[in-house]
Structure 1
């Protein structure tokens, strides 16, 4: 008999009762058991007395503040997910929470209700995947130990047991791959939140992600490199979170000296914000070096030539190509063809000359806008969706929030949820669906 899944227990910590009341209202109807505490010490007492799956803590509280509380939670109950609520753009507080408390994420106050609910669901799903991974790993270790204890004369039993272990190892591989994919999806969700700091006509993260993914697929880069590139493309401007809106919208060639000094620090700051997340270390290295130049005049480390990681060289080409067109490099928006000419002109100085040639050739052969390519893709509204259809592109809400990622297979329940979400938002969404005929066509040509 299958046991019913336990309801996750959430602990909400804030020294202001009205904030706790607001959080309870937002989470009313969600499948969680809610606990509240008005101080860090009270929260620790609750954690010592019962199991808590996730803690949401305010950053600034008298006595034990949010980062210190979450650091203690990480030390004593490392399996409990930790989220920080901060009411101000306090970089030092956020970095301390990330480094000491190893938090899952931090959110600003006032928060967006849908974003908060979505973040909690993502955090608990991530926690479940990690717990399942540890369970499977423990199971494998146990079965290996039992295998060593078997009598050497029972050869057939050893063969049978080895087959079972292989199956378990395959399950572990699948669980680990799923965990890595969840990190990629999480970075894209966070990327869509970062983009909301920019005006709608300068939000280029999605185009940068699409460019590096398409280029990596065409040139058959290893799967691990593709994942790292996708995460780096999603978070390359993470270090700009501390900028004010005026600096965010200023083209880099118009920045004054003090602004330029802040600008050259953003790649290294982006890497430092990811240091507590081990699966993002390689992506963080690409983010750090994506503003290095082929001739050694870039930043932050003045790397030269092939000392610059390949993924960082590719990311720089994609970022410059997109940001030139959005007017974030020069004081005007540069047309697509002129942007390609700019890249070619500076090959050998700013860019790896051979990689620049491959990249510009790829962009020239692509549709005018990579995200508008329609070959093998159908644009379908929610009322025409059918179970089994597969998304060809990410689906984002009008607010910029990622709803579904590319490759997701639709079910009837998911379609109904999309229609209900449309009704609640007063919006209409068009989904880009992969045509089955597009996948079957090569096979037909071979048999003809």
Structure 2
């Protein structure tokens, strides 16, 4: 390893020789008897340790070390001084920035130990300086990387934003296309069945509210709603020939109750299976006519083996058919229809679905502003009609928007009593 460079200044040659003899085995020693000559040497030669006598002619040690500090600021400076020179020593400490001082006469071992220690300090200073410079470089490099990264992030963000805008446009376009397909299918179903669109929409809204009440997932709620909108799609490819199923019900004064007609579900499944986005609706539509006790069709599924959407749809479409479907010649008042649903849980209907539906009719339907069918036994004075009211023979009796008064209500009750068919009123 390269030896440390030690520079010694003293006006006495004997002292210089003595100090050189002590230090030369471990260090490269350079000596001067003149402070100015030593300063000239420092201009062109790096030095690690400077040792200077205090009392010298022309330039004392304090002045020399002060100037040496300007020329070679990294070198560690030591002062040789006597006890009588304390005032000058203090000046050397303050102005020359000396690291330590050695008293004359010195102890050789102490001298060597002091020089070794100051060189350790010098190495630590160099290492600190190196690490500081390296840290500064790393910070500068990191700053450049950050700037580069920020620029890349900015560029990437712009690319993602552009892609998102394209995707949003595509989604809007696809959503619009999906809505257009749904609207077209609904119109075709309406044409095939001859039933008003608001009837299907009402059934779909009922199904959605039940699904929400039963805390189904957002996807399941959506599937229940869409399947209810399309549940009669099977009528597109076939005539509505099958009569509603009649069941004698002694609980309702031997009036024959008509369940909703078979929805031609298998044909409906064939139609919607052509559209990939309707795949989750297939089982709901296919099993909409299954009975909870397993006596229904097409596969005699029972209980929870029937998809939850199909169980919900069975309740909502039957209820709407009971209270308002024009083709139902054995319509029920809503109160009777609700009682019928409760009486036939575990037979036709899932008890949990019926319970949720009754709660929906009690509160959620009103808050959602769905047109609510009420019987004349529930119709209140001051209620405003949301739909036209028709005579069971199809004749228009009262237009939507009319407020119910005592005269209108009494007249409706007389007609209902005469024809023996409940009149559907929506408020």
Give the structure-2-normalised TM-score.
Answer: 0.43
Give the structure-1-normalised TM-score.
Answer: 0.41
Structure whose alpha-carbon radius of gyration is higher: 2
